[in-house]
Amino acid sequence: MSQGPLMVLDSAGLWFRAFHSVPEKITGPDGAPANAVRGFCDMVAVLVEEYSPSGLVAALDREWRPDWRVGLLPSYKAHRVGDDGEEDAPAALGPQVGVIREILSAAGITQSWADGAEADDVLAELAARDREVLVVTGDRDLFQLASASTTVVYVGAGMRKRLAYTPEVVAERFDLPAGEDARVYADYAVLVGDASDGLPGVAGIGAKTAAALLRGYGDLDGIVAAARDERSGLTARQRTAVVESADYLTAARGVVRLRERRFELGFEGNVDGRRGTVDAERLDALGVSTGQSRAIGRLVEATALLDGA
């Protein structure tokens, strides 16, 4: 019997999307919000039911805005910093995150993290394993992880519109050079920029131009070299824009490219993603306190196939 894929979850991305997609009127018996709890459990259950993984790991942020990334690019996620210095997130979500993590623990679902790392870094490490991997995320930066053994399941447009991105799909969707993997997407993201992450991009370089430059010159180093060569095919305007952005390009690629630095992962649960011991009593209590017994029960039932029996 062949081994099924390892499914790895961009956990924070999923519970943020759950919070914003399920009405806040969904509450527990005490009136406390439970919309993210319901949405997260339902989403994970649907994903497991559809893809039948043999392992499941929920990746966590140990730091949502690591100092080393801010050191490279001070604008990185700067607009998301709240008055207390932490991430500016909905007040009703914070308590639910703790509950979701309790549910994961009680359901025997593996959680993973790394010191000084975001979930993106954890997902990159997990995707490097010698097995088929499914990365579930709503963050397009993770398209760079697509490879012969890794498929990125993108839920950014909603669960009903989820799409599976292989290297071929990434190349076709963004008109990028095709290859055995989609690492070139990271350079595309640096050129185009991403306001949600505080990446300004290169002035005057839009999606079509960025893709054309990468098809012509391969990567950021090739583009910068071409910009310094008046005989290259770049226009004077493009050369100026790239040269003037050289410092940004160097810094941003260190921020966006994953696996440029390595991390030692920590785990709660089985490192291969098999389901651990299920604490039925604790899950029942969490179901009662949140009013989400049905959603929690569906999650537990869906992940039963991960027991590895």
What is the residue-level pLDDT of the chain in tens, covering all 309 positions? 357 899 999 999 999 999 999 999 999 999 999 999 999 999 999 999 999 999 999 999 999 999 999 999 999 999 999 888 889 899 999 999 999 999 999 999 999 999 999 999 999 999 999 999 999 999 999 999 999 999 999 999 999 999 999 999 999 999 999 999 999 999 999 999 999 999 999 999 999 999 999 999 999 999 999 999 989 989 999 999 999 999 999 999 999 999 989 999 999 999 999 999 999 999 999 999 999 999 999 999 999 989 854
Q: Hey, CA dihedral for 149, 65, 47, 273, is it positive or negative?
A: positive
Report all structural domains of the chain as residue ranges with CATH numbers, in order of start: 6-128+262-307 (3.40.50), 184-256 (1.10.150.20)
Tokens matching residue 221: 């180093």
pLDDT of residue 135: 98
pLDDT of residue 83: 85
Cα(266)–Cα(228) distance, rounded to whole angstroms? Answer: 44
Identify whether the C-beta of residue 60 lies closer than 8 Å to the C-beta of residue 97. Answer: no
- Residue 56: how many CB atoms within 10 A of its CB? 30
pLDDT of residue 4: 87
DSSP class of residue 113? E
Cα(37)–Cα(19) distance, rounded to whole angstroms? Answer: 8
Answer left, alpha or beta for residue 218, where phi above 0 means left and psi between -120 and 50 means alpha.
left
AA identity, residue 239? R
